[in-house]
Structure 1
């Protein structure tokens, strides 16, 4: 079901209950219209009706329906098609909800796949705006949307930064095991997903600020988008820093595992040497030679045991001093 909000000059925002009025509202260029719908709850007939109302090409609608797109800004007929994403942590992973916006001079049509949280936060910013902000038309709506999206990326980066710092402290202070490795791997996965959607948003902002066609953002609103770009730049730096720290923790973990394996190998080698000497002596005395020292004598057996015990004890003390045991 399509939901619409219209800003009337001097009257503020009004929820449009009768969607048949959208054509009349769009005809008045003083109005600013925001319309949204969740693709998952639309029937084929409703999608066709929306496309007809906003004069969308069937190919562009299909493009908007295709999920897992990277953030981008494309020309779609008489409209601009902007794609961005909401990220939510579910079952230890960041899951994207795609938001495709068809942008006109004085309206934005947002078709999404479960991005209600981002849209609700964006609408919460509208009452705080002044009359001068609304003179930017659809550019103002894009600003409020991208501002919420980038703020959300920043909050996600903050959580990942806290998580990697906790992992670093654990790696340095306590003996960690497989559970730690799973946490570190999960962090790397989430960071990769955040990078996948945050970094291309830089190019999206550049395309908004410097389009190939007519200007999208009025000059008096350009500073707002530059602020978003600055914030996104800080988020990008933060992502790189988190990745560097995660790689350092991973390298530390590998070094500890290598050191642990080396300790095990040293102990195995030491015990193998200790066992080898008695085995060698007993093997020699087990040969069928006729002339073996002390063989056949009264104390020959005890002499062989003594040699084995002294040799094994000597090796044990030597390895113990070298901290191989």
Structure 2
């Protein structure tokens, strides 16, 4: 396989003396590089700089078949165009893929540029946001440049960290010795596991909304339902398009047979999550319709109550309006008991209307 040699004396990043290894992502950093290492036969060989890691792998470490006996894994978080362009010159990354990795906001996809495969995956996280502490689905991206003797992971977003993925792989040298494809599977597996966790969390929220909608207490759940529908859309955009790239990866020649089995397992998990997410619309739509129906029924009940009380108060208003007219001759206007009779008639009429409305459920 063709490989790009490191230019003599070239310095990639100002990473000398920077922390790397476990927990490096939590420490202050002055560049986009999170961690780097050379892996030989599945074992990590720590180096002072990225340059040293690349030279360790590429300077004469070739098998009889021309393949590298190891590979370099460089992890970056939201790199600038300058940083990634410098790395692209060393590994021979295609400018179009580099541009996608810098600007992000890409659909999940798999592309091949010569002997380098470029994979884009959407990451999802369930985080609390807003004054009410409501949890919402946020998305990020992981771009992977996978070559014969290197892996470059570019992460965008605050979630989807890969430090723990690297630690788990380093505890399994036999699988790590399979090369860059092992890293590709591990990252894909972590991303799909994130889908499962978020999908389960959304399912719990849907169950809570459904219980609240059909509970005797009257609550307004319309905003929460619409928020859940937006979260489902975010999940669909992340989960759905990834099925094709994962399926294609399983058939690529650079992926060893053992790793293909793992990739098919990840694809199976993705299929289950995709079906689960697609079923959420079928749950949320009737819940929203039921809630809107309840709101309409509640509004009708309120209008009936208002109408009933309005009818009751119309009786004294009408009688008082008649006897309040300035005519010289009004029947019973001069009768001694006229006032008491009028009040009694008003009271009896209002009481009769009240009991009638109560009997028919209007009050």
1:123 aligns with 2:166: yes
Q: Which residue of the partner structure matches residue 191 of structure 2?
A: 149
Q: Taking structure 1 as reference, are residues 110 and 128 closer, same or farther at Cα in structure 2, changes over 3 Å only?
A: same
Match among 72, 76, 81 for residue 33 of structure 1: 72
* Distance of 1:58 and 1:102 partners within structure 2: 12
On the 8 A contact 2:109/2:121 being kept in 1, the answer is: yes
Q: Taking structure 1 as reference, are residues 260 and 49 closer, same or farther at Cα in structure 2, changes over 3 Å only?
A: same
More deviation, 150-159/51-60:
51-60
Q: Taking structure 1 as reference, are residues 298 and 257 closer, same or farther at Cα in structure 2, changes over 3 Å only?
A: same
Q: Give the TM-score normalised by structure 1.
A: 0.83
Q: Which residue of the partner structure matches residue 20 of structure 1?
A: 51
Alignment of 1:52-131 (within 5 A): 52-76=89-113, 78-88=115-125, 89-91=127-129, 92-114=135-157, 117-127=160-170, 129=172, 131=174
The CA deviation at 1:147 is: 0.6
Q: Deviations over 1:40-77 (max 9, x none)?
A: 4x572x33321110112334312211122221112345
Q: Taking structure 1 as reference, are residues 278 and 128 closer, same or farther at Cα in structure 2, changes over 3 Å only?
A: same
Q: Deviations over 1:273-316 (max 9, x none)?
A: 11122222333334466775545444444443333222221111
Q: Which residue of the partner structure matches residue 4 of structure 1?
A: 36
Q: Taking structure 1 as reference, are residues 176 and 108 closer, same or farther at Cα in structure 2, changes over 3 Å only?
A: farther
Count residues in correspondence: 317
Q: Taking structure 1 as reference, are residues 132 and 126 closer, same or farther at Cα in structure 2, changes over 3 Å only?
A: closer
Match among 185, 191, 196 for residue 232 of structure 2: 191
Q: Taking structure 1 as reference, are residues 312 and 113 closer, same or farther at Cα in structure 2, changes over 3 Å only?
A: same
- Aligned-residue Cα RMSD (Å) equals 2.9
More deviation, 82-91/111-120:
111-120
* Distance of 2:143 and 2:359 partners within structure 1: 69
* Distance of 1:295 and 1:243 partners within structure 2: 70
Q: Give the TM-score normalised by structure 2.
A: 0.76
Higher helix share: 1
1:165 aligns with 2:165: no
* Distance of 1:241 and 1:260 partners within structure 2: 29
* Distance of 1:16 and 1:174 partners within structure 2: 65
On the 8 A contact 1:99/1:115 being kept in 2, the answer is: no
SS of 1:99's equivalent? strand
Q: Taking structure 1 as reference, are residues 237 and 264 closer, same or farther at Cα in structure 2, changes over 3 Å only?
A: same
The CA deviation at 1:241 is: 3.4
Structure 2 unaligned spans of 5+: 1-30, 63-67, 130-134
Q: Taking structure 1 as reference, are residues 108 and 90 closer, same or farther at Cα in structure 2, changes over 3 Å only?
A: farther
